[in-house]
Chains A and B, each alone.
Chain A
Amino acid sequence: MRNVVSAAVAIVVITAVFGFGYPLLMTGFAQLAFSSQANGSLITEDGKVVGSKLAAQGFTSAKYFHERPSATSPAYNAGATTFANLGPTNQQLAKNVQAAARAILKLEGPYNPGLTIHDIPVDAVTTSASGIDPEISLAYAQLQSARVAAVRRLPLATVKQLISKYTIGRSWGFFGEPGVNVLELNLALDKESSS
């Protein structure tokens, strides 16, 4: 009984300190010191929120770079992330990969003469862990550059320049892997086209 009373008091104290004190302190600090990151790294254009630097948004138009496939429902749902969870021997995985590859060949083929399935990087046909991976591999960005340049009537060199500008390298040049942030790249392209 003595234990029960002690435990009940401890639960109240601990919940107050670690359930409210600590997160509220961190929230206050974050809002002051890192307000952009703390609110979801949102990107604003003309006062309107157009997305987050950290979330794919499902580009389909030919003038944009496209992201990796997504297993969320609906696709690229930043409110309900999920893996695809298709095992390595699951036939559905084989079907999805083939379908994604066919779609890419059809879309990019006309702009890349001689394009075959062997030129498609693996990240272009596989779902990401979150379903909202904001990045694509450098290889997939290069593959899409010819189409985007042609549709937008921009010099290929300009598009490639923007790709390298929005390539996020390894942290401190060492940790993780490089990738291209698709939303930032597409925003820059829109600006380039309208100027």
Chain B
Amino acid sequence: MGATATEARSTEPQVGRRRFLGWLSGVGIAGSAILGSVATFFFIRPRTTYGQPNRFKIGRPEEFPPGSRIALDPKRVCIVREGNKVAAISTTCTHLGCIVAPSATGFQCPCHGSRFDVDGNVTGGPAPKALAWYAVTLTPSGELEVDKDNEIQTGSYLSV
């Protein structure tokens, strides 16, 4: 209580109330800043995206003849058909997101020279991992549907 006695002798009145207001303002403003930052973070993180949907139909199985490797660049997948088995391999380079192009030996990235074999495994360049395989399903209407949110193991085909 020694401190209080010193303050009481001070020429400046109402130190207790001023200190309380100072404390209140400090905590209040700091709290507002923190809450505001968190709210801003949630605000700028979109809940809805306006780009392409990650699940889309690509057509009937007959459109992909056996032995074909057809790259659907706008969808960023390559549809591979071997016999009666179908798979969808990502054409987004795992390195830095460029679109890889089908080549004689598999896939090749134009940006930093990554190379992949026909199954999307890395055979050269800076790519850190294999190209993703996406789940392909047959819808009741008889069309193939690719789900890019559903990554499956390399080499898993859908029989049609």
**Do A and B belong to a common assembly?**
no
Q: Which residues of A contact B (CB under 8 A)?
A: none
Which B residues form the contact surface with A (CB < 8 A)?
none
